[in-house]
Homo-oligomer: A and B are copies of this chain.
Amino acid sequence: MAERSLSALIVVDPANLYYLTGYNAWSFYTPQCVIVPADGPCHLFSRYMDAQGAQHTAYLPPEHIHGYPDYLVHRADMHPFDWIAGTALEIGLLPDTSDAHIALEMDAHFFSPRGFLAIQGQLTHASLVDSHELVNWVRVIKSEREQAKLRSAGQIAQRVMEIAIEQIIPGRRQCDVVAEIQHAQALGSQYLGGDYPAIVPMLPTGITSGTPHLTWSDLPLLTGEATTIEIAGVHQRYHAPLARTVALGTPPNRLRTVADAVSEGMAAALEQMRPGSTGRDVHWAFARTIGRYGLEKESRIGYSIGIGYPPDWGERTMSIRPEEETVIEAGMAFHIILGMWMDGWGYETSESLLVTSEGAEQLTNVPRGLTVKE
């Protein structure tokens, strides 16, 4: 903030709120934020009923937690951010001078244009700038304690995926498989409770496996079809995502060929994933390898992970793609996701990993290739 001469930063991303203050609740469907002044402690602003909950989870003294009245919720004529910005000015948390330089998370989920215009209306004296995901970028290098949480999440992810693969059986409804997945996600293990994932289990199957991000239906799984499974293990909001593909019955050769090429590509990407490399290097290691099999992938092959809240477990910072020049450092964590979406069929496999001085440490250990159930 000092480097950018910011007087204050208004943070709305729930993952950033959790990172900065420990605040953790399903309250992000109404406006809330943490205001970080250039000097002095953070203040949290939320709906009145949630301000009470914040006392239990945020590492903030009660006088730094402010609740706006309930009549501001879902009103056409007023907006909670009028109240929030007004109150922050009143208590001197935001400067009222014309040199005020205030950063906002302009592309965060749960920060609406109306919220932005309300803040702008209250802060006409100030210059408002985009934070460009400042807090997200600070989160990129994980502390020892954060790394431990990611490893715990990995343990849960591994168990969840083992159960998911076991449950892919001809005739079983997709929703029945998801029931077992969600059960395992919450259960965690005997010593580690599971937390909710930022994304529900995704289970494109048969013809829909040619596309990502479909959830599930109550139709039965069929012999002759492949199912891609994308889940995460989560511990205290830290995510280890994981994807695999299961074929019921003898898979077509094209699927086996793609799976083998992608396994080789994953090995090449992981080998390249070490301090000093860039996302571009890692992407190239993968692209070059699958290129030898005549394959290419249009989309990015991975992104930074850590704390996640719905709707995304990515950190919204680094992507593994040709345009990414940020140098990889120890303490970063990534989800490398290799989704090959073809016309009416597809293949997905992924690994979550922590970068150490030695290279890529996998957070899970599940056989990587296509699982075939004859």
Contact = CB atoms under 8 A, between A and B. Distances in A.
A132 B76 contact: yes
Interface in A312-363: 312, 314, 316-317, 319, 321, 323, 339, 341
A126 interface: no
A300 interface: yes
Contact of A215 (B26, B214, B218): B26
A300 B130 CA distance: 34
Contacts of A106: 112-114, 117
Contacts of A69: 298
A110 to B, nearest CB: 6
B202 A215 contact: no
A211 B56 contact: yes
**Copies held by the complex:** 2
A59 interface: no
Contacts of A180: 183
B192 A186 contact: no
A37 interface: no
B52 A210 contact: yes
A319 B76 CA distance: 12
B211 A50 contact: yes
Contacts of A210: 52
A174 interface: yes
A33 B182 CA distance: 29
A187 B309 CA distance: 24
A128 B70 CA distance: 29
Contacts of A109: 29, 109-110, 112
Interface stretch (A88-96, A193-201, A366-374): A193-201
Contacts of A311: 26, 28-29, 110, 310-311
B212 A53 contact: yes
A193 B213 contact: no
B175 A194 contact: yes
A200 B196 contact: yes
Most buried by B among A69, A107, A184: A107
Nearest first, the 7 closest Cβ-Cβ pairs linking A and B are A193-B218, A53-B211, A182-B182, A113-B116, A175-B193, A179-B186, A29-B312
8 contacts: A24-B214, A26-B213, A50-B211, A53-B204, A55-B211, A109-B109, A116-B116, A175-B194
